[in-house]
Every structure is written in C-alpha cells, then in structure tokens.
Structure 1
C-alpha cells in the first residue's frame, strides 16, 4: 500500500476560537490509544472466548431531578427481573441495584472494578433501565452522560476488561419525539447480499497492538437518537421483553449481532404501541445498536 495518510479533518489547536472570534478555551479532551500486550493467538481469534461473565442491572424507577418532570417508571421491575434471569441462565453472575443517585452509581462501578481485579471475567454487561436523553440516562438525582458511563470501563480506567467485550444495554427514551412508520403488506421478495471483506495487517514479530480506549464496546439502545421509548406498567418495556426472549432462544454459537437484529425487527416492525384505550396507528419504536467490537461475540458457546 502506498500514498500518504492524513486526517480527513483539520486538527483542533490546543486553544481555539469559534465563529466571530468566540473563545472556546481548551480543545475537547480526546483519549489516545495506548500500547497493550496481546498474544498472537488471541489477536487472530475471530470471536471472543466467553466462559464467564458479569452483568450489572441498574433499575431506576423514582426520580428527584431539579427542573425535570420525571415520572415513576412503573413496570420496570419486570424488565429488571427478566433480563437478570436471562443472563443468569447463560452462567453470568449478576448484581441488581435500584434507584441509585449519580454518586452511588459511580461508587458501585468502582466497587465492581475492584472485584474484577481479583475475579476477572470474559464478558461484562451493564443494563440501565431509566429515563434518558439523547446524550445519557438519569440517575435518581441528575443526568449521567453515556460518555461518563463508558469512561468507567474503558481500556484506561478498567484494565481487567481490556480486550474483553463490554455490552451496554440502555432502556430509556433518547428524546421526546415519536417515531412514525407505514403499515405495509409483507413482500415475499427478498434482497440478500454478502461480502467477504479482508483487511491487511502485518503481524510478523509484533507482540503489542494499539488498543483504542473505545474498543470492544457494544451499545444496544431501546430506540434511535431523538426518539421516545415505550413502557407498559404491567408488561415492562417491549425492548427488554423482546431482547430477553431473543437471548432465551439464542442458539449455540449464534452471533449476538443476529440476536440484536432480530430484536430490531420484532420491536420495530411487529410491536404496536397501545395506550390502553386505542392503538397508535402509525407510531413505532426502532431499537438500534452500535458496535465497537473487534471480534464476533457469541454469548452461548458450545463446549
């Protein structure tokens, strides 16, 4: 490969100004990659080896946030119980906490990180059931941004989880707008495409790699940015309900991407919101997931 490599943007200077000379102070903080040791066998493996796991379930139901009218999240206990049970059946140890302030949440995270030093796991899952915005979720007293949450478990701040898959499942609204859709008949025609993409790398004699702080995260959201998510006081949320069912029915060695994709389909195309009086005729909820994983993730592995 030849040619010059350059950034597809302009670097922001240490001190910079906005339009019309508006001072912005220090440039935004960025987390650099660092060098970390990894065996060639582990690097070449196409999927994460999962023999143990730990899941945290944060179930926030009652809120006291200044200048924010956040109602009680009735029905969330159903979600918390169901998702905990599903991961427990996979052999994951789980911890469940209810109605934590931001400081209490951070203290819980720190305690778990200390536990991981002496009792490492192959996979880490954090499930948050709460109210939220496009940028984060609410503790009982204030907003926690997604970035703040991720920083607790990234490669710099949580060494035991380096090169390990970290799944963040968020059941919350990400805005106040409702998603709208069309009622369409099922089309028997299908479009199917596949591609075998390969990336070059030179691994001869190399014993270390550059590990981005954001590597090995998988984010699964109840809805797309800017949109609201539904919850039923008796049934819980459609997102957690269908995700729990998909995990329960997951086949051995099935890639977790396919599990999340099936949840996207069931909630996005089949679920019909109903307020108890009349169904919303054109309102939908579209889950989504964003992957920073570097390997295939199989939570239910044979052997």
Structure 2
C-alpha cells in the first residue's frame, strides 16, 4: 500500500474530511492551500506534504521551492481566521539537505545538567491575545541538512511510523506529542545500507502548541 493511501485511511478513520492533491507545482501549492485556508472549518487542521526537498524547503513538481514558513503562514490568524486558537498540524516527508546520518558508536555516560533561569518580571495586568504563530505543530521527517529515507518497496520510514503510531497511540488516549515521541524512537532505531555505509534518520518536531492535542478515536461497534 502506498504511503498516501495509508495516510488517507488513518485520517478517514479518525473522522477527518480528507482532500488529496497530487503533482502540484510550488505556485499551485500556494494557491490551493490558500483557498483551503479560506474555506476550512472544524476543530483541528492537518496538512501532510510528501515530496522531495532541500535545506530551503520542499519541491513542487516543477522543482520550485515552497518553504515550511510559507505553508504555516497561509494558516495564520490573518489568513485563516476560522482556525484561530485551534491546532494546526503539518507533516513534512522530504529531505532537508544532502547529508546522511551515519551510525555512531558512543560510550554510555550519565550527564547532569543544571539550568538557572533567573528571575522573570511578570506584569500585574495581562491582556490575553493570540500570537500570530501559536497552535502550530510541524512534524518533519528528518533534521535540518539531512536526507529523509524512503524504501522503494515499503515507502517512507517516517510516514509508515506516523500511521502506525497514530492508530496505536490514540487508541491508548495518548496526546499527539507523546505519539510523535514514539515515532522518533521507532524511526531512529531503523538502519539502512546505502553503498558501503549504514545510515540512520531522526525526525524532528517544532511546535507552538498551548494545549495537549488528542484525536478522536472511532467508537467500537
């Protein structure tokens, strides 16, 4: 089964209305996502981008770049008021550079770290507002400057793990960051041979979430 089909099945199972767009150029991606940002409704929005990429962003079919920042900005409060204060989750399956993460042998060690945060002044009166970049979760298949591995037979390590862990984690009533920690553990435990080298991969999450996010699990019949 192709990874796109797996993603569609998982999010259909979770009760999302799924729209699939294939083989788009970068400009068309901006246009289509911009239209979605104007019409989307609901309690949560998820966008999955599966493509090639480099350190600047992801490629459209025309090999032009669209950045993660651009995609996020299309769903800012100014551009997408319907999703203000609602979680916006983005999955990116794409390389972020050309380096390969190799196996390293390191001795076991115990590290102790102390951090002194110092004092913070808190004003007596606080006006609550919504930051322009709040409630966004970016889930990236690999860390900056490194390739993202995809098996020709079974597909992307990252997307396969996301699909498995979403199903398993939400059945256990885990929040999405707990689920993604399991994705990181699973993917980073895999190895592949490219030429004479054994390579690894480490996914990465960046977020400005202000609350835990749980996806609804369908009731058993």
Please indicate the TM-score interval, normalised by the length of the shorter structure. Answer: 0.7 to 0.9
Match of 1:231 in 2: 150
Q: Which has the larger radius of gyration?
A: 1
- 1:148: Cα distance to partner? 1.2
| Corresponding pairs, count | 209
Residue in structure 2 matched with residue 222 of structure 1 by the alignment: 141
Counterpart of 1:272 in structure 2 is 191
Residue 131 of structure 2 is aligned to residue 131 of structure 1: no
Where does residue 170 of structure 1 map in the other structure?
A: 92
Partner of 2:174: 254
User: Could you tell me which residue of structure 1 aligns to residue 43 of structure 2?
Assistant: 122
SS in 2 for 1:86: helix
The equivalences for 1:35-54 within 5 A come to none
- In the TM superposition, residue 90 of structure 1 has moved relative to its aligned partner by 0.4
Counterparts in 2 of 1:246 and 1:279: CA distance versus 1, 3 Å: farther
Q: Displacement of 1:183 after TM fit?
A: 5.4
Match of 2:213 in 1: 297
SS in 2 for 1:98: coil
Residues 212-258 of structure 1, C-alpha deviation per residue, up to 9 Å, x if partnerless? 11100001010000111111122110000011000111234311111
* Distance change (3 Å), C-alpha of 1:291 and 1:200: farther
The answer on whether the counterparts of 1:252 and 1:302 sit within 8 Å (CA) in structure 2 is no
Gaps of 5+ in 2: 112-119
Q: CA RMSD in A?
A: 2.8
TM-score (norm: length of structure 1): 0.62
Q: Secondary structure at the match of 2:69?
A: helix
CA deviation digits over 1:162-193, x for unaligned, max 9? 001000100000010011233579x8xx99xx
| Contact kept in structure 1, 2:135 and 2:209, CA below 8 Å | yes
Q: Residues 129 and 172 of structure 1 are in contact (CA less than 8 Å); yes or no, is this contact kept in structure 2?
A: yes
> Which 5+ residue runs of structure 1 have no aligned equivalent?
1-76, 192-198
User: Aligned match of 2:77 in 155, 171, 178?
Assistant: 155
Normalising by structure 2, what TM-score? 0.84
Q: Quick one: structure 1 residues 274 and 107, their matched pair in 2 at CA, closer, same or farther if it must change by over 3 Å? A: same
Deviation of 1:279 after TM superposition, in Å, equals: 7.5
Whether the 8 Å CA contact 1:252–1:300 is kept in 2: the answer is no
Quick one: distance in 1 between partners of 2:180 and 2:121? Answer: 29
